[in-house]
Structure 1
Amino acid sequence: MKKTMQLIVVAITAGVISLGGYKMLENKQTEATFSVLEENPTFIPTTYESTNAIATGIDFTEAAEKTVNAVVHVKNKSINSQPKNIMDYMNGGGESRAMLGTGSGVIISPDGYIVTNNHVIANASELTVTLNNNKTYEAELIGTDPKTDIALLRIMDSETDFPFVTFADSNNVKIGEWVLAVGNPFNLTSTVTAGIVSAKARDLAGDRDTQSFIQTDAAVNRGNSGGALVNTKGELVGINTAISSETGSYVGYSFAVPSNNALKVIQDIMEFGDVQRGILGISALNNAAAQASGIDITEGVYVADVEKGSGAEKGGIRSGDIIQNVDGIKIGKFSDLVGYLGSKRPNDIVDVQVLRNGNQKNIPVTLVKLETLEIPDIGIEVKNVAQSILDARGINYGVEISRAMTEATKRYKIEGDIITLIDDIPIKNIDDAKRVIASRRYEDALKVTFVNKKGEIHSYIFR
């Protein structure tokens, strides 16, 4: 028994010594670690802190709460005719079917004005919007602008004050800034996703594009179109419009119309009934084309030609100038210029900084109205064309196709082609085109002669 007690005492003593030694070693290691931190402030700890927004001092909850009640689920009912046989196809007949499309929209005023995408409500025969509280209202279409893919709706209940989102200045948006995308992807109502601004002034169709998008990595999918892109204050910085994907679903790239451009479009629709576009009156070469022509340019917009009578000509801009800055906004490429001017109107005066013969020069320019003509019989829009473009094609006159308006004409990729003849009558400007179109009978065939981007001549007959 005595021997047993001795063994127990020895065991307890050994345990105490072992535990005490471990604690001493642990304390020494801790002291050594803090000593290194104090001696070397650039030491990187191996204990990683959470990288979520709240841990970094950014809280998305206020922005989400402000926005989610002002973003609506837009439902678009349209009637389409589906041909059942070859005779229906040839005669334009067929069985009528009701189609339902969905998307998102953003309430921008307490009386129920809503901004959304044009493609969300295209061909609608009936529009309804559902709020986050599940209340559904009928909506009316106020106006659209297919070029910017913006449409303006209004809820037809005039007695209710609705939650709304205020506009921010999209020129102040910074690359790397946190943003939220709010919408209704895949009919999942009131969905909020977060990301950063990946790029600004992104053009999706090359330097002929009339758009300039904010690119983000916030998840956007089908149904998000027309929804809100907001900053961490819950202010509107863009209208979610498109994704870049081979699958049709989000893969990391989404694009929004800047809030300044969207605001200008809806203000024009409300005040004038259509969009008033102000232009400098120049034709430009993109950087790659300029460099291929032996022109040393890495940033800016190279002025290839100045239209006669334009604000650019009257202000003193010359062919060969490089536009570097407009109203303090840096112009690195054509989409920067398009994006900024997209928020301006005719007769606005902008301060253009150009580089000429190695010297910088500031030139005030009064913007002129972009004159275009829609030809519904063909499904295109045309505008006057700069002489430099005519010279490059080896022709003396014509009007440029600025936009394909239907799915059929979009397939032919004719934007940028020059129309020289309509019904064999020379077309020197859009006034000539107006006269010819106005004088013809609708039921008559329409012959149009084009000169494409390669300088090839083609004639088509439209019936």
Structure 2
Amino acid sequence: MADDSQAGKTLVTTGTDDAKVVELDPRLEEAERLRIEAVDRALPATVCIFVPGGGGGGSGVLISPDGYALTNFHVSSPAGSYMRCGLSDGRIYDAVIIGIDPVGDLALIRLLGRDDFPYVEIADSRKAQVGQWCMVIGNPFLLATNLQPTVTWGILSGVGRYQYPSGTLLEYADCLQTDASINPGNSGGPLFDDSGRLLGIVGRASFEKRGRVNVGVGYAISINQAMNFLGDLHSGRIVDHATLGATVATDPDGGARVSNILDSSDAYRRGLRYGHTVVEIDGRSVNTANQVQNVLATLPPQWRVPLVYMDRGQRISTLVRLENLHTSDELLEKMAAALPPPPPAPEPPREPEKQGDAPDQSDDENGGDGPKEGGPKLPDLKKLIPGRE
């Protein structure tokens, strides 16, 4: 137990006859203090999302004082056009969907009612390093019915990870891996560094096969990728991702060699041909087909980016305008196939309970991230917002 005479700077071990007093390293107390301060800075901008009608929910994070927030496409899509969002100050706001990125699993929403929302400081996720401390704040299992998010702490286990679509539209490229606990309902929420700056948007996680239980492998979309698409999302678009207009394969001797190319692509017009080796895209070195896709999938179409390739030993640098990964019809078709069913219709009003009938006290065990029958109820607005009818 703690020795009060030392004001928390010593620990007393008990359970044996020769109890010892152990001096606590002041650096541990300082680290704890800094961690608590970082959580306090990050917490107010974290959003708990609830889909009306029990259609699921998740998490989000405010990025500007006028109410714009980022979340996952797979969190916002069950909501239709609007949702309810709660902040840790105990208030609930209506929110509308502004723009969606179904390929990158991002959505931009806007909370209504204020122009002075708390918002996060944006970090440079390209500078993130394996082993650095990080934290996840959000609404796992939709536990935040009191609008107080859950905080988990861990390290960055990997950077620059690539997650294949695996038969779905969603593609996670150049993402961050963490062992901080991520569970259903954390989706769309923030991944912070140890100073409370935003590193990414939580998305996928690996779960134990017998149940949706975290096994210490979670992924976040890098905030740098999200910022690349922010302009298009603000414009209210359904956003696509980029392709070079060519496919590459990893050469057995090393290098990302062009295996096919469209003669209508800008890359072809700039001289890229079958058999050339791509060595840099957008200033980033690439040596495998995986690395090429890892860069391209973080970029919007129609951007002009630097491209460096090798042609018979000659290093050639040029600017290339990127192509759309999908046609408009193809994107809409795949997006429709990826959308979950709409939330269940509200139940008709129940007859007043007879005197002596006990109300239903069953616990809700739904976890969030998608529509579920009999899903979690919204917090009582009348209790949370004075004067709200």
TM-score, normalised on structure 2?
0.70
Aligned-partner Cα distance in 1 for 2:32–2:227: 31
Corresponding residue for 2:155? 196
Corresponding residue for 2:130? 175
Q: Are 1:348 and 2:296 an aligned pair?
A: no
Amino acid at match of 1:266: L
Corresponding residue for 1:220? 182
Corresponding residue for 2:104? 148
Equivalent pair of 1:165/1:236 in contact (CA under 8 Å): yes
Aligned-partner Cα distance in 2 for 1:66–1:263: 21
Alignment CA distance shift 1:380-1:334 (3 Å): same
Which of the residues 58, 70, 78 maps onto 2:45? 70
Helix, strand or coil for the counterpart of 1:193? Answer: strand
Greater Cα offset, 363-372 or 105-114: 363-372
Q: Are 1:336 and 2:269 an aligned pair?
A: no
Corresponding residue for 1:405? 338
Aligned-partner Cα distance in 2 for 1:207–1:376: 16
> For 1:80-159, what aligned pairs fall within 5 Å after superposition?
98-125=53-80, 126-157=82-113, 159=114
Give aligned pairs, total: 310
Q: Are 1:244 and 2:177 an aligned pair?
A: no
Helix, strand or coil for the counterpart of 2:239? Answer: coil
- Please list the CA deviations of residues 55-105 of structure 1 after superposition, one character each: whole Å capped at 9, or x if unmatched: 77993233312211100110012xxxxxxxxxxxxxxxxxxxx43312111
Aligned-partner Cα distance in 1 for 2:26–2:275: 49
Equivalent pair of 1:179/1:197 in contact (CA under 8 Å): yes
Aligned-partner Cα distance in 1 for 2:120–2:140: 20
Corresponding residue for 1:460? none
Aligned-partner Cα distance in 2 for 1:333–1:276: 23
Q: Are 1:365 and 2:320 an aligned pair?
A: yes
Q: How far off is 1:343 after superposition? A: 4.2
Q: Are 1:311 and 2:263 an aligned pair?
A: no
Q: How far off is 1:323 after superposition? A: 2.3
Corresponding residue for 2:347? none
Larger Rg: 1
Greater Cα offset, 198-207 or 104-113: 198-207
Aligned-partner Cα distance in 1 for 2:111–2:60: 11
Aligned-partner Cα distance in 2 for 1:314–1:320: 16
Alignment CA distance shift 1:264-1:407 (3 Å): same
Helix, strand or coil for the counterpart of 2:79? Answer: coil
Helix, strand or coil for the counterpart of 2:221? Answer: strand
Q: Are 1:233 and 2:189 an aligned pair?
A: no
Corresponding residue for 1:461? none
Amino acid at match of 1:59: L
TM-score, normalised on structure 1?
0.60
Q: How far off is 1:260 after superposition? A: 1.6
Corresponding residue for 1:13? none
Q: Are 1:258 and 2:222 an aligned pair?
A: yes
Aligned-partner Cα distance in 2 for 1:346–1:207: 22
Gaps of 5+ in 2: 1-21, 342-389
Equivalent pair of 1:63/1:230 in contact (CA under 8 Å): no
Aligned-partner Cα distance in 1 for 2:40–2:46: 11
Helix, strand or coil for the counterpart of 2:60? Answer: strand
Corresponding residue for 2:334? 380
Alignment CA distance shift 1:353-1:160 (3 Å): closer
Q: Are 1:267 and 2:225 an aligned pair?
A: no
Q: How far off is 1:207 after superposition? A: 9.2
- Please list the CA deviations of residues 40-64 of structure 1 after superposition, one character each: whole Å capped at 9, or x if unmatched: xxxxxxx999799767799323331
Aligned-partner Cα distance in 1 for 2:26–2:205: 26
RMSD: 3.2
Equivalent pair of 2:125/2:223 in contact (CA under 8 Å): yes
Aligned-partner Cα distance in 1 for 2:330–2:243: 22
Helix, strand or coil for the counterpart of 1:176? Answer: coil
Q: How far off is 1:407 after superposition? A: 6.8
Alignment CA distance shift 1:333-1:249 (3 Å): farther
Aligned-partner Cα distance in 2 for 1:333–1:251: 29
Equivalent pair of 2:55/2:78 in contact (CA under 8 Å): no
Gaps of 5+ in 1: 1-46, 78-97, 382-402, 409-463
Alignment CA distance shift 1:283-1:161 (3 Å): same
Aligned-partner Cα distance in 1 for 2:55–2:31: 43
Amino acid at match of 2:153: A
Alignment CA distance shift 1:51-1:100 (3 Å): farther
Helix, strand or coil for the counterpart of 1:123? Answer: helix
Corresponding residue for 1:41? none
Q: How far off is 1:162 after superposition? A: 0.7
Aligned-partner Cα distance in 2 for 1:342–1:106: 22
- Please list the CA deviations of residues 17-36 of structure 1 after superposition, one character each: whole Å capped at 9, or x if unmatched: xxxxxxxxxxxxxxxxxxxx
Structure with more relative contact order (C-alpha pairs < 8 Å, separation 6 or more): 2
Alignment CA distance shift 1:268-1:330 (3 Å): same
The answer to which structure has the higher helix fraction is 1
Aligned-partner Cα distance in 1 for 2:139–2:231: 26
Corresponding residue for 2:246? 282
Alignment CA distance shift 1:51-1:182 (3 Å): farther
Equivalent pair of 2:98/2:236 in contact (CA under 8 Å): no
Aligned-partner Cα distance in 1 for 2:331–2:285: 38
